[in-house]
């Protein structure tokens, strides 16, 4: 049961660039709550000024998210309605918000989504992809070693991979994608919904050449998934294990995962069988 004296937490999506993308509901919620928790008060204040909203702001950025969520939770329990926003788009998608949402739900405080813009959904809508599935990987790690390890963990996925990236790291990320994935086809979206919106497409090597002189703005990178080759696949377990070993550039672990899916078998059963054959 909800404590009727508690406030409500609203998770509010805000424009990712074009201020015309505000919704009437977003305006109403930001106008009536007692407090808005935001990544950068300077950034959000510009939005509120444009909308003639005078609601108080408090900082809620990544480095203080855990600590600040406790004080915001106390305010909610005291009956104050709070909206959480990110600098752009939907909170909780590679932006602060999820920790406070989880704590609010655990405390039986109502959590209400106020949907709106998202760079992920916006890029997906104009990418021209026909596959029903994709993998959203958020921001790759900033350090080279961690980033390469992270990318290698995604190498065998057959679906398109979505990343957010900053302009100062995009060149290194594209170089590491080339190293890990090879020269796959990709798409790079810059400044979605803004005046200088740009779409670059082609092999990773082409994208690297196109941004050689630098690039500015918020970026969404879409990388094609690995091409699934079905021709000539055997349907016998032992033969399929050897086929993956000899024809696919995958690890034993990934091969077992794929074979289990191919033959509708348990992964542990396939892995144990593969151990005896893989190095033979």
β-sheet with 57-59: strand ranges across: 57-59, 35-38, 82-85, 9-12, 111-114
Angle (nearest 5°) at CA 103 between 6 and 163: 130
Burial of 5 (0-12, 13-18, 19+ CB in 10 A): exposed
The lowest-confidence range among 17-21, 109-113, 230-234 is 230-234
The lowest-confidence range among 78-82, 206-210, 266-270 is 266-270
- Digit-coded pLDDT (tens) for 202-251: 999 999 999 999 999 999 999 998 865 555 677 788 888 888 888 777 88
Global pTM? 0.77
Q: Give CA–CA dist 22/209, Å, rounded.
A: 36
Q: What's residue 228's pLDDT?
A: 58
**Is domain 120-223 in CATH 3.30.950.10, yes or no?**
yes
pLDDT band, residue 265 (cuts 50/70/90): confident
In the predicted model, is pLDDT for residue 191 greater than 80?
A: yes
Q: What's residue 231's pLDDT?
A: 55
Provide the CA 248 distance to its chain's centre, in angstroms. 28
- Digit-coded pLDDT (tens) for 132-173: 899 999 999 999 999 999 999 999 898 999 999 999 999 999
- CATH class, 9-117 region: alpha beta
- Give domain limits for the chain: 9-117, 120-223, 237-277
Q: What's residue 2's pLDDT?
A: 47
Q: What's residue 1's pLDDT?
A: 41
Q: What residues contact 239, with CB distance under 8 A and at least 6 apart?
A: none
Which 3 state secondary structure label does DSSP give 193? coil
In this structure, what token pair is assigned to residue 242?
């050897």
């Amino acid at each position: 049961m909800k404590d009727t004296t508690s406030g409500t937490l609203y998770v509010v999506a805000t424009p990712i660039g074009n201020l015309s993308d505000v919704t009437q509901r977003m305006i109403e919620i930001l106008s009536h709550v007692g407090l808005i928790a935001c990544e950068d008060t300077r950034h959000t204040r510009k939005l509120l000024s444009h909308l003639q909203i005078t609601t108080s702001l408090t900082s809620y950025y990544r480095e203080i998210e855990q600590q600040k969520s406790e004080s915001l939770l106390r305010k909610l329990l005291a009956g104050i309605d709070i909206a959480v926003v990110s600098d752009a788009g939907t909170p909780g998608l590679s932006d602060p918000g999820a920790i406070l949402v989880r704590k609010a739900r655990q405390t039986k405080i109502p959590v209400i989504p106020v949907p709106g813009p998202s760079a992920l959904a916006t890029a997906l809508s104009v990418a021209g992809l026909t596959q029903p599935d994709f993998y959203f990987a958020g921001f790759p790690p900033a350090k080279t070693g961690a980033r390469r390890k992270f990318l290698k963990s995604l190498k065998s996925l057959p679906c398109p991979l979505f990343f957010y990236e900053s302009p100062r790291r995009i060149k290194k990320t594209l170089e590491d994608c080339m190293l890990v994935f090879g020269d796959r086809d990709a798409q790079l979206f810059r400044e979605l919904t803004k005046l200088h919106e740009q779409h670059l497409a082609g092999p990773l090597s082409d994208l690297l050449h196109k941004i050689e002189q630098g690039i500015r703005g918020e970026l969404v990178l879409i990388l094609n998934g690995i091409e699934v080759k079905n021709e000539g696949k055997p349907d016998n377990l032992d033969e399929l294990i050897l086929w993956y070993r000899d024809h696919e550039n995958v690890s034993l672990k990934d091969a077992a995962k794929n074979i289990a899916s191919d033959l509708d078998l348990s992964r542990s059963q396939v892995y144990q069988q593969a151990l005896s054959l893989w190095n033979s």
